[in-house]
Amino acid sequence: MTGFFASPAGDIGLALFLNAGDPPLEILEPLLLALDAARVDCLELAIPFPDSVSDGPVIRRSADRALANGTDPDGVLSFVARLRPQLRHLKIALFADWGHTVRSRPLPDFLDRVSGAGADALLVHGLPPRLGPTLCETAERTGLAVVTSCYASSDPAVMDEAARRATAYLYLVAQYGRTGTTPPQGFAALAPVIERLRAVGNAPVAVGFGVKERAHLEALRAVGADAAIVGSAFVARMEEAQANGRDPVDEALACVEALRPSVPALPREAIP
């Protein structure tokens, strides 16, 4: 497996999603170090923004908590810059909303800041399609890899464009809807979609939306996905841990162990 995902032989890559600031950044720092030690491949780290129409209630509550904690773009970029040199395996794909975070800034300046902070890639949520070429060209000049996305039901031309432009990975949304919703028919229907995307582009294909458990990862591996993205289910574990006074780091490690038992769990005291 190439690029962002370097999982044990025969397994599938693993990406997790969190809003920066939920848990608070002082807790998020040891949590990311724990994910790195557990050899999670990628963290999609969102700069929080309100009222996302594509997110379900779990991720929307998380974004609201992060914003209430005072999390802002400058703080997130400073956090990434401080932490990135300590990570040996985990890559950070920064997730930024076009309307809330990016649009008010000159695009080259924003990409320079993201690259300078050490983020491994950038996914811009809600980017107007007409700006896709500009984003990719500007990112290439700054040396920043790009995550593109499409739905499994997207028009073939949209899929092909997403596959060609992805330089980090392509985020394949398993079904149209909101985060946290598993396709009622399962993931088997994605096989021809993944085959098409791989024939057009060179970046790994990572599947998200409704990926919650080990059986889902195995199903995605069977249809040829390079990685699985676990978002709402992971955020929900963090929400429950904080609400019930449990350590989010311990909860994160337990979640990873359940998702990928092929990687031996590390004792908590072994985490930097």
Give me the active site residues, please. Answer: 44, 55
**DSSP string for residues in 138-153:** HHHHHT-EEEEEEETT
Location of structure tokens 């700054």: 142
Q: What span, in angstroms and rounded, lies between the C-alpha atoms of 231 and 211?
A: 7
Residue 199 has, within 13 A of its CA and on its CB side, a CA count of: 8
- Name 161's Cβ contacts closer than 8 Å, sequence gap at least 6: 132, 148
Task: Give Dmax over CA atoms of the chain in angstroms.
Answer: 50
SS3 assignment, position 229 = strand
What is the C-alpha separation between 137 and 129, in angstroms, rounded? 14
Give residues with Cβ within 8 angstroms of 164, minimum separation 6: 200, 201
Compute and round to an integer the Cα radius of gyration of the chain: 17
CA distance 208 to 173: 5
| DSSP label at residue 131 | G
Q: Return the number of other C-beta atoms located less than 10 Å from residue 99's C-beta.
A: 14
